[in-house]
Structure 1
């Protein structure tokens, strides 16, 4: 599978179908059951997930996106009012409704705090709050909530991505500042985790998120291959280190058994685009082949943003038709 074309070329809409569930077949099945009102399958899924916090956060987030989730989970709570899982999922659903303008943000915050009180060790209600405040809150709220998640699970994958995206948006007029705080944060966070952690890719994510901000601000080309942001010495160092990590991860014995990450395709997507921008076409093609239908057009597109919308907006801006 060859890398995606540059942003100036069109692709068929059908190629942008992107399921946030990724390759979690159990999650896909439970989501389908919930759409038909069978919430007991969701209850079983979350019970089986246990304290795999990354997987629990991913599953709650994906389930909460569905328009019918709130109604069916309310039925679950009526049947089992003491269920902490139902409270957590309902809080996530309230956050997504608030982000879509269908719910008051304060009501969503209250639901998250109530869920957090039920399960003090669970970072998932705090992740829901972080999702909300990453878009609607003040920066001090975002930092505080990230700390709440990290206190409960220091390697929380999704929380680190949300924090990077928010930090990258600081000082958009500063341009390609190699001392920008998003790079410091990514380096610091990657240094705090074990060698096998997927968070080793955070420096690449930071570079891509900052590129998103600069391209939106108009100080960088919307075509990543034409942007100097990807050809700097620092960018090459970041990409090499992360790619070398992934090669080791993919090697038998490189990663601990049973540690396949629920959002591994998200990491691969960032790394594949970065490798493509660096001109390592053969390696990029191998990475894009691994991602398959989850590859996105833009280096910064991942399941928290619709890849087709990101691509369409970038292409319109590049062609001067925005």
Structure 2
């Protein structure tokens, strides 16, 4: 395909072919492929990722309820029910729906039930972390636990510890904690998020997606600073920004098996390297993305972050520049 003919595509399953098939079946109201996929999922990290994607698709239907009615004693069905109820509560919260409180309570109970049905599974605890952001005032005791280190904040650290005990450095668990930080003091300075991301990345082993967490926070800082365009142009070439990108490239991308790299992390790393003018290294990440992309963080480089077409134009310009530089320099692209 000629470079100018390339058009990226978005799919929530990304490179996970079996998950794409299960999602397709789920969209038609069939749950057997979902059950079979989860039964064959080999580890908690992939299980967490797959259940999250499946729940986002299933939340608008009664498919998981149908599965539970057929197999009421299935731990996997209980976990998926937990996932779906949490997804619905979060959507209601975003939309300001009057049933948010009721859905929150139902989701909390579903998480507790799933944790008993599947005691070794990190997902019920990840889901409780996701619900923690709805408690903006930190009224619940479990959301005001003392932090494990200096420069951190009181929060749902016990829930994170439960997830960590079952799947150390679980990607979604730590991202859910980051979302709690943003919700804890909306509009506040991002120093708490920066400290948290640096702490999480520094304590994670090589190959962990948590090495990319500082790049996600950096994009959020960029988004909140929107309007100071000249300053923003310099945001990505500072020593700190380049160091974060290098850290993620060496500590995560070069050490993580290709099949375990999440699309949002690949997108954030490609974006950071491109912004730091590390075009040859960025080309490697664009190649790893293959035919896929995510609208964020590219949408934040446009005047209208809600316009996916503009975001795609930015992505294609960045990709084309990086691949061209890599070819000219004799890089393996």
Same fold (TM over 0.5): yes
Contact 1:35 1:68 in 2 (8 A): no
Q: Show the counterpart of 1:6.
A: none
Contact 1:298 1:311 in 2 (8 A): no
2:83 pairs with 71, 85, 92, which one?
A: 92
CA positional deviation for 1:55: 1.0
1:190 equivalent in alignment to 2:201: yes
Q: Show the counterpart of 1:33.
A: 25
Contact 1:208 1:300 in 2 (8 A): no
Contact 2:9 2:293 in 1 (8 A): no
Distance 2:136 2:45 in 1: 23
Q: Structure 1 residues 31, 193: CA separation in 2 closer, same or farther (over 3 Å shift)?
A: same
Distance 1:275 1:152 in 2: 33
Secondary structure of residue in 2 paired with 1:100: helix
TM-score normalised by the chain length of structure 1: 0.74
Contact 1:34 1:72 in 2 (8 A): yes
For these two proteins, the number of residue pairs brought into alignment is 283
Q: Show the counterpart of 1:239.
A: 245
Q: Show the counterpart of 1:160.
A: 174
Distance 1:57 1:206 in 2: 22
Distance 1:247 1:90 in 2: 33
Distance 2:41 2:194 in 1: 33
Q: Show the counterpart of 2:104.
A: 105
Q: Show the counterpart of 2:268.
A: 270
Greater RCO (Cα-Cα under 8 Å, separation 6 or more): 1
Query: Which sections of structure 1, spanning at least 5 residues, go unmatched?
Result: 4-13, 250-254, 317-322
Secondary structure of residue in 1 paired with 2:40: helix
1:66 equivalent in alignment to 2:65: no
1:202 equivalent in alignment to 2:213: yes
CA positional deviation for 1:124: 0.6
Distance 2:167 2:249 in 1: 25
Contact 1:231 1:278 in 2 (8 A): yes
TM-score normalised by the chain length of structure 2: 0.72
Q: Show the counterpart of 2:328.
A: none
Distance 2:193 2:2 in 1: 31
Distance 2:166 2:137 in 1: 22
2:40 pairs with 42, 48, 69, which one?
A: 48
1:147 pairs with 135, 157, 161, which one?
A: 161
Distance 1:43 1:154 in 2: 25
The root-mean-square deviation of aligned C-alpha atoms, in Å, is 3.6
Distance 1:300 1:56 in 2: 28
CA positional deviation for 1:310: 4.0
Q: Deviations over 1:186-207 (max 9, x none)?
A: 2222222222323222222232
Query: Which sections of structure 2, spanning at least 5 residues, go unmatched?
Result: 145-154, 312-333
Distance 1:242 1:296 in 2: 18
